[in-house]
Amino acid sequence: MTTPGTVLVVGSLHYDIVVEADHLPRKDETAVGSRWFPKFGGKGGNQAVSAHLNGAKARMLGAVGDDGFGTFLRDRLDRSGVDHAHVATLAGVPSGMSVAIMDAAGDYAATIVSGANLRVAPQALVQDAVWRDVGVLVLQNEVPEAVNIAAAAEARRRGIPTLLNAAPWRALSPEFARLVDILVVNAVEAEMMGAAKICFLHGASDAAKKLADQFETVIVTAGSMGLAAWGAADEQFSLPAEKITVVSSHGAGDAFIGALAANLVRGVNFAAACAAASHAAAEHVAGR
């Protein structure tokens, strides 16, 4: 039996405060919630945990503050089986955090305060120990682009593919875009990158094809509609979403990314990896 490779996630860690309410407030409205609870978060942290849950070794590189939030985040990484030896603790800097409001239908809106995530050191990425046994690098847009560029450039130098979950959306510099091997965006992010409005699954396919002019491999996730992909050598397909009862959509994208990376690092072919990731996201949304 071969040992699975390692998924390296360079990215964010947030202490999430989740508020449950019957609806999301409108501008100038004060909504009354029913309860709140703390939750481990940050797209990077969530994706690392998901990669481990889906059978891969996961390693996290990021930063937390020397506060109670940082202690909470490290403890959760440890308990989730994620290697956090390369997560820095920064004196005098607050950990990243977010506040999310989730409505009765499971939809949510959130605000993040990045804190220590803005202080991740690019120079940490040249250490050989960071890259030991790594088979895929996973990035998001919750740390400075300079960190992402340093990580992707080092991965390219070492022959390791880079998967970018371009969320939250921000314009990518040409330097960074050239280093991305696999781009994953949702429908809104695809539209912000120049695709037409996505109302049906074939629209996601059109968006993936358009973005494939800039990136070798593209996956466009379209929520309850499913996903569309455009791979290397013009491999293209779409997958309808599984029919499930929604408990909460919060974190579904991160569950997808972690599962995708875990399957790719184990050598699963691209289409099968997408199907496995789609299933993992559906299970997450269904609360299973």
Which tokens hold the place of 31? 């909504």
Would you state the pLDDT for residue 199?
85
Which tokens hold the place of 216? 């070798």
Would the pLDDT of 268 be above 60?
yes
Q: 112, 110, 116, 106: which is closest to 62 by C-alpha?
A: 116
Q: What's the rounded Cα separation, in Å, for the pair 58 and 54?
A: 10
14-44 per-position pLDDT tens digit: 999 999 999 999 999 998 999 999 999 999 9
| Catalytic residue (one of 16, 83, 181, 254) | 254
Q: What's the rounded Cα separation, in Å, for the pair 49 and 267?
A: 19
- 3-36 exposure pattern, b = at least 16 Cβ within 10 A, e = fewer: ebbbbbbbbbbbbbbbbbbeeeeeeeeeeeeeee
Selected residue with higher pLDDT from 119 and 283: 119
Which tokens hold the place of 218? 């593209």
Would you state the pLDDT for residue 4?
55
Amino acid at 79: R
SS3 label, residue 74: helix
| 184-191 contacts, C-beta under 8 A, 24 or more apart | 184/218, 184/219, 184/221, 184/256, 184/257, 184/260, 185/211, 185/218, 185/219, 185/220, 185/221, 186/220, 186/221, 186/222, 186/223, 186/253, 187/220, 187/221, 187/222, 187/223, 187/225, 190/220
Domain 6-13+43-90+121-180+242-285 annotated CATH 1.10.260.40:
no
Active site residue 213: no
Contact in structure between 42 and 59 (CB atoms under 8 Å): no
- 113-133 exposure pattern, b = at least 16 Cβ within 10 A, e = fewer: ebbbbebbebebbeeeebbee
CA–CA distance from 9 to each of 43, 147, 155, 191, 213 (Å)? 10, 12, 12, 26, 26
Least confident of 48-57, 169-178, 231-240: 231-240
Contact in structure between 181 and 162 (CB atoms under 8 Å): yes
- Crossing angle (nearest 10°) for helices 252-265 and 43-53: 50
Give percent of the chain above pLDDT 90.
77
Average pLDDT of the segment spanning 145-159: 97
Would the pLDDT of 249 be above 70?
no
Residue for token pair 């059978």: 55
For 44, phi then psi, to 5°, come to -60, -50
CB half-sphere exposure, 250, CA atoms < 13 A: 25
Average pLDDT of the segment spanning 71-80: 97
Q: What is the mean pLDDT of the chain?
A: 92
Would the pLDDT of 223 be above 70?
yes
Q: Per-residue confidence at 1, pLDDT binned at 50, 70, 90?
A: very low
What is the sign, positive or negative, of the torsion defined by CA atoms of 86, 91, 92, 94?
positive
Q: What's the rounded Cα separation, in Å, for the pair 184 and 167?
A: 9
Task: Say whether the peptide bond before residue 168 is cis (omega within 30 degrees of 0).
Answer: yes
Q: Per-residue confidence at 244, pLDDT binned at 50, 70, 90?
A: confident
Average pLDDT of the segment spanning 170-192: 95
Partnered with residue 42 across adjacent β-strands are: none
Would you state the pLDDT for residue 62?
98
